[in-house]
A and B are shown apart, each in its own frame.
Chain A
Amino acid sequence: MTEFTFFGGKGGVGKTTVSSAYALECVDAGLETLVVSTDPAHSTADVFDQEFGDEPRPVEGYDGLSAMEIDPDREVQDHLSELKQQLGSQLSATMVNEVDIQLEMAHQTPGAYEAALFDRFVEVMRNAEPYDRVVFDTSPTGSTLRLLALPELLERWIDRLMDKRERSIDLFEKAAIGNNEPRRVMEGDPILARLRERKERFEFAGEVLREDATFYLVLNPDELSIRETRRSVETLAEADLPVRGLVVNRLSPEPDPDENGRGARYLRQRVETERDRLERIEREFDVPIAATIETRVEEVRGSILEDVAADLEIEVEDGDRAPTT
C-alpha cells in the first residue's frame, strides 16, 4: 500500500529541503521512496546535485530513492496542444478559430495552472505501486494545497453539469416523437462520457487524499509564515484533511554562553524571539510541532541533507494507522 506525504507552506521556508530530508529518512527505514517536486525552479535538482525530469528517475548515490520534477507550465501547454490537435481532426475549419479562442482562454484562467498540477498529482498517485512512499514537495503557491482540498467541490460541479446535460438530452429525446430523429441521444454521448471520466478521477483523488495521505506544513519562526500556516491548517481541516504536524525550519543557533560580541548578542536576542514564537505556535495550533530544524550556513545538499534528516523527528512509520498487512 503506497502512502503519500505532502509538504506545504509559504514560499522560501525550505519545503524542498524538509521533504528531501524526509524522503531520505523513509529510505533509511527501508521504504522505496519517490520525491515529487512541483517547483518550476527545480530545487530538488540542486539538493541532490542531479538533473531530474518529468518521469521518476533513481537518485544516484541513494538506494531506493527516486525523484521527479513536474513543470505545471509545460503541463498546461501539453494539455492545450493535445486538445488543439483533437480539435483539428474533428471540427470544420470555420469552427476551429472560434473554438481556439475559447481554448486559449480556458488555459489562461487563474485555475489552469493548479488544474494541470492536480491532474499530474492524480496521475502520479495512480502509478504509485512501485513505491511504498511518495513525498510531494508542493509548489509555493498556497493554492496548491487549496486545490487538494477541492476534489469534492469539483465533483459536485461536474455532477451539476452532468445533470443539466442529462436533462436537456432527455427533453430532446422526448421532443422527437414519431419518426423524428432526436437531436441528441443519451446513449454514447461523448460529453457525458468525458464528464463521467473526470468525476471518477476526482473521486479517486478525494479518496486517496482522505485515506492514504498525510500533510505536513513547513514554516519559519516569523509572523508571516505563521499566519499563512494558520490559513492552510484551516483550509485543509475544512476539507477533512487534517495536518499531521508542523515542521519549524530555520531556527537560529544559540551562541556559546562565554561569547559576548555583537553577533552573539544579536543571536541571543533572535533565539529569544524565536522561542517565544515557538511557544505561541505550540499554544495556538491544534497541530503538534513534528520537528524543529536549525538553520544551516551553507546551501543544504549532499551530506548536510543527511544531517537535516537526522534532525527531523517525524516518525516514518505511521503511528496511529494500523499497518496494512
Chain B
Amino acid sequence: MTLADRIATFRATLEEWLRGLYHGMIAHPAYEKIEAEAEDLEDAFMLACFPDAFGIPSPVSYYTAELLPFLEDEYQAWERRMWDRQSIIERKGHQYHF
C-alpha cells in the first residue's frame, strides 16, 4: 500500500466520521425537531377531529368520522403518543440530547 493510498484511506475514514458527527450532533436532531413539531401538529389535528374520544362533543365529529378509514397509521400513532406523554415537559425533553 503506497503512502498516497494510506492518506486516501485516512481521509475517507475521517470524512465519514466527520459526516457522522455532523449528522448526529447537528443535522439529525434538527430533523427530529421538525418531525416532532409535525407530530405535535398532527396531534392537534387529531384532537380537533376526534374530541369525542375524550368525551368532548364536537359539531363536526360526524363529518370527521369519514376520515377514519384513511387515518389508520395516524390514529394508532396518535393514541400511542397520547398514552406515552406524561407531561408536555417530558415530550419536549425528547428534543434535547444530553
B8 CB within 8 Å of chain A: no
Enumerate chain A residues within 8 angstroms of B58, measured Cβ to Cβ: 109, 111
Contact: B61 with A95, CB < 8 Å?
no
B: contact size bracket:
35 or more
Give residues 33-54 of B contacting A (CB, 8 Å).
34-35, 37-39, 41-42, 44-45, 48-50, 52-53
Interface string of B46-88 (1 = CB under 8 A from A): 0011101100011111111111111110011001000000000
Contact: B70 with A161, CB < 8 Å?
no
Interface string of A76-89 (1 = CB under 8 A from B): 00010001001100
A95-B76, A154-B60, A171-B34 known; A109-B52 Cβ under 8 A:
yes
Chain B's interface: helix, strand, loop or mixed, by majority?
helix
A91-B69, A157-B59, A160-B48 known; A174-B64 Cβ under 8 A:
no
Contact: A87 with B68, CB < 8 Å?
yes
Contact: B38 with A109, CB < 8 Å?
no
Enumerate chain B residues within 8 angstroms of A167, measured Cβ to Cβ: 41
A40-48, A96-104, A125-133, A291-299 - interface stretch: A96-104
Task: For the complex, give the distance between the alpha carbons of A190 and B73 in Å.
Answer: 13
A90-B69, A153-B59 known; A171-B37 Cβ under 8 A:
yes
B31 CB within 8 Å of chain A: yes
Task: Report which of A99, A109, A161, A183 forms a contact with B45, defined as CB distance below 8 A.
Answer: A161
Enumerate chain B residues within 8 angstroms of A109, measured Cβ to Cβ: 52, 57-58, 61-62
A198 CB within 8 Å of chain B: yes
Contact: B45 with A165, CB < 8 Å?
yes
Chain A nearest CB, measured from B7 CB (Å) = 28
Interface string of A200-244 (1 = CB under 8 A from B): 000000000000000000000000000000000000000000000
A177 CB within 8 Å of chain B: yes
Contact: B45 with A164, CB < 8 Å?
yes
A191 CB within 8 Å of chain B: yes
Contact: B70 with A191, CB < 8 Å?
yes
Enumerate chain A residues within 8 angstroms of B71, measured Cβ to Cβ: 191
Contact: A111 with B62, CB < 8 Å?
yes
Give residues 111-137 of A contacting B (CB, 8 Å).
111-112, 115-116
Contact: A110 with B57, CB < 8 Å?
yes
Contact: A164 with B65, CB < 8 Å?
no
Task: For the complex, give the distance between the alpha carbons of A194 and B45 in Å.
Answer: 14
Contact: A161 with B64, CB < 8 Å?
yes
Contact: A161 with B48, CB < 8 Å?
yes
Most buried by A among B58, B64, B76, B79: B64
Contact: B53 with A102, CB < 8 Å?
yes
Task: For the complex, give the distance between the alpha carbons of A191 and B50 in Å.
Answer: 14
List 28 A-B residue pairs with CB atoms under 8 Å apart, sorted by A's residue number: A79-B62, A90-B69, A95-B75, A98-B79, A99-B75, A102-B50, A106-B50, A106-B61, A106-B64, A111-B58, A111-B62, A112-B62, A158-B60, A160-B48, A161-B64, A164-B41, A164-B45, A168-B42, A169-B38, A171-B35, A171-B41, A174-B34, A175-B31, A175-B35, A177-B27, A191-B67, A191-B70, A195-B67
Sorted nearest first, the 5 A-B pairs with minimum C-beta distance are A171-B38, A168-B41, A106-B65, A115-B62, A164-B45
Hey, which bits of chain A sit against chain B, CB under 8 A?
79, 83, 86-87, 90-92, 95, 98-99, 102-103, 105-107, 109-112, 115-116, 150, 153-154, 157-158, 160-161, 164-165, 167-169, 171-172, 174-175, 177, 183, 190-191, 194-195, 198
